[in-house]
Each structure stands twice: as C-alpha cells, then as structure tokens.
Structure 1
Amino acid sequence: MKLGYHIGYWQSGPPEGALEAITTAEELGFDSVWTAEAYGSDAFTPLAWWGAATSRIKLGTNIVQMSARTPAAVGMSALTLDHLSGGRFVLGLGVSGPQVVEGWYGQPYPKPLARTREYLDIVRQVIARKEPVTSDGPFYPLPLPGGTGLGKPLKSTVHPLRAEIPIHLAAEGPKNVALAAEIADGWLPLFFSPKADGFYRAALEEGFARPGARHTMADFEVAASVPVIVHDDVETAAGFMKPSLALYIGGMGAKEVNFHHDVFARLGYADVADEVQDLYLAGRKAEAAAAIPTSLVEDTSLIGPPEKIREELARWEDTVVTTLLLRGNAETLRRVAPILR
C-alpha cells in the first residue's frame, strides 16, 4: 500500500505546521497529499498554496463538495490546478449530506446518485475540451433552458495538460460505492474497516460489472483515511480518537440521515451508534465519547505500540485499500512512516 497525507479540516484557521507536514510527506516518499472542506475553508485554495512548495507528490481534494460549485466551475479549477502542478492533480468529489447541501449551500439534495453521474459527465467534458460542453440532464442542463435564450455551448479557453484527470468519489453506502467503481477512477472511503472489506468489495465489484465501467479492481484506487496513533497504552490512544468519532456518529448529520452513523451500524455497532447519537444530540458530548468502545476505534484505526500496529497492518494490506491517508504533524509522519513500511 502507498502512503498519503490528509491535512483535514481547518478549525479556527490554517492548521499549524501544515506546510512542513506536506513537504515532509514528500521527502518521506508519500504518494499524495489531500485537502478537505465542509462549511469553512475550501479545498482548492490550500492545495494550490501549499502544493506550490512541492514538486513530486500528487495533490488531491478529499473532498470538494459538489453542491458548492457548478460542474463547469469544478472543471475549470481542475484544469487550472493540473497545469500549475505539472499534471499532479487528483479531483476528489462528494455529495455531502442534506444538512450541509440544503442548509449551507442552499441547493437541493434529492437523487444524489443521479446528480453525481450527470456532474461527472460535465466535468469530464470540460477537461477533455473535445467539443462545446452540453448536457440535457435534469440537474445541470447546459445551455440553460429559458432565461435570456442567449446561452450557447462553450469550450474552455484553456487546453488541458491531460485529456483526463483522475476523479475519485467519496462514498459510504453500497450504492454510492458501486457508482464510484462504475464511473470514477478511485474511491475515498471514510471509517473503512478491514472487517467490512467483503461488504465493500462486493459493492465495488457490482460497479465494475456494469456496462461502460472504466476500471477493474486491479487498476482502481482506494485511498482510505486511517488514523494512526503510536502510543504504549492502547486505551489512551483510543481516547484521543473518541471525541472525533462521537462528533461524526452523533452530530454529523440529522438523526434520521447520518451516513457515518450507518457505517458503524453496518460494522456491528448499531446499539453503540444509537446511544452515541442520542447522547450527542442531547448535548452530552463527553458521555457520547465515553460510550464508544475501544474495539470500535481499533476496527477503524491503527493505534497502540509499534509492534501492535505492524501486526494489524497486515489486515489492511489484504483489503481493497491501495493508499493509507495519514494525519498529524511532520513529527508524527516521521515517526509513523517507518512503522507502516
């Protein structure tokens, strides 16, 4: 497996030491570095700013939220960053959830799978620049019907550096994962667990078997964000992770629609996920974190002493994952990289 570095979300401002961590990842031979966005900092700008200090490492977005921009705008950003980086850009896209899509971006959420299919088609048309971009789909029709009547199909003024730029899709549910296998070049899972490898492998194979699928398992990228915490005490290491897990399981989405909650329910922690969600939504965040068993953390992370991490890494190497995306500062990367190799 390859190693990548995930900068993650900003909090009150840019993550301290981010540039040093990115350049360290490149020095250590990491394959890729990724930015994120939710409803604060965006994914493109930091990637261009910090990526300018690199020369080899791939630069990816994990993820750009589709509701934030039209597909043509995303195609423009992808063309631009691919040129500026010398062909190192990877476009990671995702639909997010209804709370963010409708509450922050003011865009409709229904039919996310059909939206994704139409969105990617337009993005690829923009990047390929073979002919003026058109779409007769219901979500992003181009040219826009009605209006002034003056709209016409256009081609980008910029010629692509590459006719195709890799596009990875973020997905958690089986239908979304299958769609990623069918129409994308890679999958960006969150809270992946080797225990669920068979479940996800089946979803991917379903997508690969569809007419027109672009890849097979042999040449499809799966870049999974995997927390790695080196610590002599497993319980202490797990404790560092539990507040963040409580946020995702309990608060990242409405009670009736929380895809992260569903991931852990499928993993065998349905009762735990329900309890964490109830506590978190009631404002009892510390209790929600305390309700998470260490086994849940271990199922989705690599934590503990170096020898334990090395032993458990073998489980990950047997899965569909092709790249482990790590987080932390430069010192963390220097410490963890030799263990994972």
Structure 2
Amino acid sequence: MRLGLALGYWGAGPDPAAAERVAAAEDLGFDSIWTAEAYGSDALTPLAWLGARTSRVRLGTSVVQMSARTPTATAMAALTLDHLSGGRMVLGIGASGPQVVEGWYGQPYPKPLARTREYVQILRSAFARERVEFAGEHYAIPHPGGAGLGKPLRPTVHPLRTDLPILLAAEGPKNVALAAEIADGWQPLFYAPRHDAFYRDCLTEGFARSGARRTADDFEVVCMVQVVVDEDVDAAADRIRPMLALYIGGMGAKGVNFHYDVFARMGYEDECARIQESYLAGRKDEAAAAVPLSMVEQIALVGPRGKIAEELDSWRNSLVTTMVVGGGRAELEVVAELVG
C-alpha cells in the first residue's frame, strides 16, 4: 500500500502549511499528492503550483469535477500538466452532485453515469491525439449547430503518454462498477475496510463487462483517510466529526445525498437521519455531536499511535492500493513509519 498526501480544497483561503506538508511528504517517501475542488478553489492550479516544488511524487486530482470543464478542456489541462511534470499527472474525475452541478456550474445533473462514460471516451480520444469527433447524448464535438463551421480537431500538443491514467470518483455501486469497466482506478471518498466485500463485488461486476480496460491486478484504488494522532480517542474523533456532519448533513439535498447513502449502507441510517435533520436546521454543532465514534473509526484512523498501528492491518488487507493521508506533519510521519 502506497501513501499519498491529501491537500483537499481551500476553505476561505489557501493552507499556509501546504508547501511544507508537500515537502515533508516527498521527503518521507510518499508516492503522490492530491488536490480537490468543490465550489471555491480549483484542483488544477494548486496542483501545478505545489507540484513545481517536487521532483518525484505523482500529481493527482481528487477530483476534477466534470461539469466544471468540457472534456476537451480537461484533456488540455491534463496533457499540459503531464508534460510540465515529466509524466507524473494522474487525472481523477467525478460527477459531483446535483447541488453543485446545477447550483454552481449551471449544468444539468441527470444521467451522471452516461455522462461519465461519454466524458471518458472523449478524454481517451484526446490523449491518443486523435481528431476528436463525438456524437453522444450529452456531448457533441464538433457542435452540431452554431455557426456551422466547427470541424474535428486534435491536440496540437503531442501527448507525453497516450495512456495517461484516468481515475473515477464513485460512491454508489453502479458508479463503482463503471469505474472498474472504463477507468484505470477508483477513488472512494468514504471507504470502510469492514465493508470491503461489498466493494469487491461492485468492482468484479465492472471488470467482467465486455471491453473492460483493467483487471483487479492492475487497477488502482486511491482512498483518502483522515488520520489524527491523539492519546484521547474521542478528542481525535472530534476533529473528524464536523467534516462528516457537513458531508452527511449538508453536501446534497434531503433524499439526494450520496455521502449519506454510503454511511446508511454501513448500518448508520438512523444516525444519518439525525445528523442531516440537525445540519439542515442550522444546528451544526448538534449534527457533529451526533456522529458516533464507531462511524469515525470506520473511515479514519484516530487515537494513540498503537491503536492506529493495529487498525492499519485492515487497510493493508483491503482493496486500497494508495492511502491518501489527511493530517499534519506528525500524522504523516507516524503513518510513513508504520506503513514503510
């Protein structure tokens, strides 16, 4: 199991310690660094800025939101960054959710699986430096209307790698299976080793489909895992609870929240309902307090060093091939020592 550094997306502004954390991760032998985007900072600019200070680590997006850019614009960015980094770019993409897609990007959300399939096909065509011509339900290149002067084009840039890896962020079983079918890897957001069998079944379904790109042997699973080292387990969990309350309670509408669904499938349906009710009513502290310790421990590593060492075994034996660590320098050093 390799290690990555989670840089995430910005809150009100950039993390002043980001450059220091990136340098520490590379010094500690981490394999990769990963940026994200929601509806504030974008994923690509910080990745290029911070990646320029590195020489070895892979540079990944976790994730680029598909509705933020046309497929060809995403392909241009990936090709550019792959050249600038000497072939270290890993393109993680995701459909996001209706709240962001329609509320921020002003794009329609329905049929996300079909849109993802088309998006990836166009990316592959651009990475292969083919003339991009596509007539789908969601994307049409060249545009079929307008001035009527569009013609199929291919990138002027000669790709450094025509097989630049595409990873797919997915939470629902159908989307996880799609990742196994069309992508080079899967990026879960909230993954629990205790439910490993469920996700293995989803991936197996995708690998079995005609034309599947990969097999279980050469497929990446890149998972963010928050790590908090503290002698007080509950105090450590308190640093994770507000984030879980946000995602379960507020990242999506009532009845259409994929993060909520992940934890409900783990057996926390009643807890999720309480968290969401409190969060949507504006009682955020109450929502965070409703997150049980066991829920935090499903998807994060919290507590004393010895406890984290014991619990790492379940991650080593899971589907995860790269653990993307969220935490400060102390957490990076502990995990590097324990995994290395």
What range is the shorter-chain TM-score in? Answer: over 0.9
TM-score (norm 1): 0.98
Root-mean-square deviation (CA), in Å?
0.9
Partner residue in 2 for 1:21: 21
Partner residue in 2 for 1:307: 306
Partner residue in 2 for 1:209: 208
Q: Aligned partners of 2:165, 2:88: CA distance in 1, in Å?
A: 10
Partner residue in 2 for 1:153: 152
Partner residue in 2 for 1:94: 94
Task: Give the percent of matched residue pairs that are identical in Structure 1 and Structure 2.
Answer: 64
Contact 2:227 2:331 in 1 (8 A): no
**What letter corresponds to residue 54 of structure 2 in structure 1?**
T
Partner residue in 2 for 1:67: 67
**What letter corresponds to residue 98 of structure 2 in structure 1?**
P
**What letter corresponds to residue 227 of structure 1 in structure 2?**
Q
Contact 1:90 1:167 in 2 (8 A): yes
TM-score (norm 2): 0.98
Contact 2:78 2:91 in 1 (8 A): yes
Give 1:232-247 correspondences, 5 Å limit.
232-247=231-246
Partner residue in 2 for 1:320: 319
Q: Aligned partners of 1:241, 1:138: CA distance in 2, in Å?
A: 40
**What letter corresponds to residue 143 of structure 1 in structure 2?**
P
Contact 2:82 2:160 in 1 (8 A): yes
Partner residue in 2 for 1:198: 197
Question: Equivalent residue of 2:324, what SS?
Answer: strand
Give 1:29-40 correspondences, 5 Å limit.
29-40=29-40
Contact 1:58 1:89 in 2 (8 A): yes
Q: Which runs of 4+ in 1 moved over 6 A?
A: none
Give unpaired runs (5+ residues) of structure 1: none
Partner residue in 1 for 2:177: 178
Q: Aligned partners of 1:170, 1:227: CA distance in 2, in Å?
A: 17
Give unpaired runs (5+ residues) of structure 2: none
Provide, for residues 193-228 of structure 1, a one-character-per-residue CA deviation record: whole Å limited to 9, x for no partner.
Answer: 012111111000000000000111111000110111
1:124 and 2:112 are equivalent in the alignment? no
Partner residue in 2 for 1:282: 281
Question: Equivalent residue of 2:143, what SS?
Answer: coil
**What letter corresponds to residue 151 of structure 1 in structure 2?**
G
After superposing the two structures, state which structure 1 stretch, 155-164 or 325-334, moved more: 325-334
Give 1:143 shift.
Answer: 0.8
Question: Equivalent residue of 1:226, what SS?
Answer: strand
Number of aligned residue pairs: give it.
340
Provide, for residues 292-329 of structure 1, a one-character-per-residue CA deviation record: whole Å limited to 9, x for no partner.
Answer: 11011111111111111111111111111111100123
- Return closer, same or farther for 1:234/1:330 CA change in 2, 3 Å cut-off: closer
Partner residue in 1 for 2:291: 292
Partner residue in 2 for 1:53: 53
Partner residue in 2 for 1:7: 7
